[in-house]
Amino acid sequence: MKTIKTDICVIGSGSGGLSVAAGAVQMGARVVLIEKGEMGGDCLNSGCVPSKALLHGAASGMSFPEAMTHVRQTISAIAPHDSQERFEGLGCTVIREAARFTSPKSVVAGDHSIKARRFVIATGSRPFVPPIPGLSDVPYLTNETLWDLSECPSHLLVLGGGPIGMEMAQAFVRFGAEVTVIEAGCVLAREDEEAAAVVKQALISEGVRFLERAEVTQVVGQGGALTLTLSNGQRISGSHLLVATGRRANAEELGLEHADVDCTRDGIRTGANLRTSNRRIYALGDVLADHPRFTHVAGYQAGVAIRGLLFGLSARLREDHIPHATYTDPELAQVGLTEAEARQVHGDKLEVVRTEFSGNDRAIATGRAGPGFIKLMVVKSRPVGATIVGPEAGELIALWSLAISTKLKMSRIAGMIAPYPTLAELNKRVTSAYFTPRLFDNRKLKRVVQAIQRLVP
């Protein structure tokens, strides 16, 4: 067995792992990067990239085979940036094997034993498959196997009404499939209720059927003919089943018991500095317990981890400014507190202002002035949350992430100028909605203006 001594050993080549490896090696650290699967992780190969490419194909009027070709071409275009060749070119030692800790200071991967000053666990997550009777005996799809389809399902049953389930439901109904979404609670339950209702209604108008508060108690059948039994006795049949019921951390096979790393069923626990119970070992991304599981979150966490790994700085996570988006049509994006959360936290101190997409000239000109809106939660003249549902919501939310991150006051945001006509004007308009009652419904201000008009020649 070959022994390698290094400064930093990164396990996992998803967004977080690659960001740490690239940053560390380019700043002079010796880095070993270990990956047992495809470089680029879930996001590139079976998550964000292919799903958004498929959504684009569905929205653009492509046939299903054309859209799947577009998916593969998109992955191929991005893959070189995450490739083994690129990271070896940067100076990393890349090992394509499964990693397992043998002690708090060492890992074995294939015929290599790696001893490192610091380790970073960034092994991501996998689809969670619920223990429903019969499910393991029938063919089903997840976000990892969906891309093997060569033909569009005739009737796709989607188990789970979260972002993945909703995005794929809309994509496949646009390809001509019959689609039924089965959700044990309410679809998009973690989102603003009003915004989620806009997305749900849009999918209903396109033909998606929803069965909410419906628990699946049994699955039977075979490929092309599956039947789900619900807790109320109802049965629903379809040709294919997509399981989109959440994610589970990839931590069980790492030998963490040999590394003195605390891990629960939900994933690895760390402090706000991303150090585990073993101070030599950091963890980030989807493998963490009790943290948002998004690609951009892993990238942000990588920046926090690098400060500690390379410079010994006590950088700490913040999560109040982390946005997320569901890429349906209309899109739904959120940063900070929802209205319900903000009312619970801030009570009477909260002000809620909003503006509608229907009043935006760019939305009108491009035929996208639907029932969307921006809702802004403000406390003591600072935004604490923003909800956007409408076209390009994922793009528009970035401004409010910046505002919350830097604790900008509404007066500073009001100084922004957006080009006309753009959807970005909506961010300006919702800021104006905050100041309108202060300016135009202020009797004292009106008296001052009137006095000045009389006095000034």
> How do residues 148-171 score in pLDDT, each as one tens digit?
999 999 999 999 999 999 999 999
What pLDDT, on a 0 to 100 scale, did the predictor assign at position 445?
A: 67
Q: How far apart are CA 427 and CA 424, in angstroms?
A: 6
Q: How far apart are CA 176 and CA 206, in angstroms?
A: 10
**pLDDT over 80 (residue 451):** no
Contacts of 320 (CB under 8 A, 6+ apart): 336, 384, 404
The answer to whether the annotation marks 124 as part of a ligand binding site is yes
The model's pTM: 0.94
Residues 166/156, Cβ–Cβ less than 8 Å: no
* SS3 sequence of 381-400: CEEEEEEEEECCHHHHHHHH
**Cα atoms found within 13 Å of the Cα of residue 385, Cβ hemisphere only:** 20
What pLDDT, on a 0 to 100 scale, did the predictor assign at position 420?
A: 96
What pLDDT, on a 0 to 100 scale, did the predictor assign at position 321?
A: 96
The answer to whether the annotation marks 2 as part of a ligand binding site is no
pLDDT tens for residues 356-413? 999 999 999 999 999 999 999 999 999 999 999 999 999 999 999 999 999 999 999 9
What pLDDT, on a 0 to 100 scale, did the predictor assign at position 359?
A: 93
The answer to whether the annotation marks 193 as part of a ligand binding site is no
The answer to whether the annotation marks 164 as part of a ligand binding site is yes
Return the domain boundaries, the chain.
Answer: 2-39+83-127+248-311, 135-245, 324-440
The answer to whether the annotation marks 161 as part of a ligand binding site is yes
For 2-39+83-127+248-311, give the CATH class: alpha beta
Q: What CATH fold (topology level) applies to the domain 324-440?
A: Enolase-like; domain 1 (3.30.390)
The answer to whether the annotation marks 85 as part of a ligand binding site is no
Cα torsion 279, 280, 284, 288 to 10°: value is -50
CATH number of the domain located at residue range(s) 135-245 in this protein: 3.50.50.60
pLDDT tens for residues 265-291? 999 999 999 999 999 999 999 999 989
Q: Tell me if domain 2-39+83-127+248-311 and domain 135-245 are identical in fold.
A: yes
Q: How far apart are CA 160 and CA 216, in angstroms?
A: 10
The answer to whether the annotation marks 123 as part of a ligand binding site is yes
The answer to whether the annotation marks 166 as part of a ligand binding site is yes
The answer to whether the annotation marks 36 as part of a ligand binding site is no
Percentage of the chain lying above the pLDDT 70 cut: 99
The answer to whether the annotation marks 167 as part of a ligand binding site is yes
What pLDDT, on a 0 to 100 scale, did the predictor assign at position 440?
A: 66
What pLDDT, on a 0 to 100 scale, did the predictor assign at position 37?
A: 95
pLDDT tens for residues 85-143? 999 999 999 999 999 999 999 999 999 999 999 999 999 999 999 999 999 999 999 99
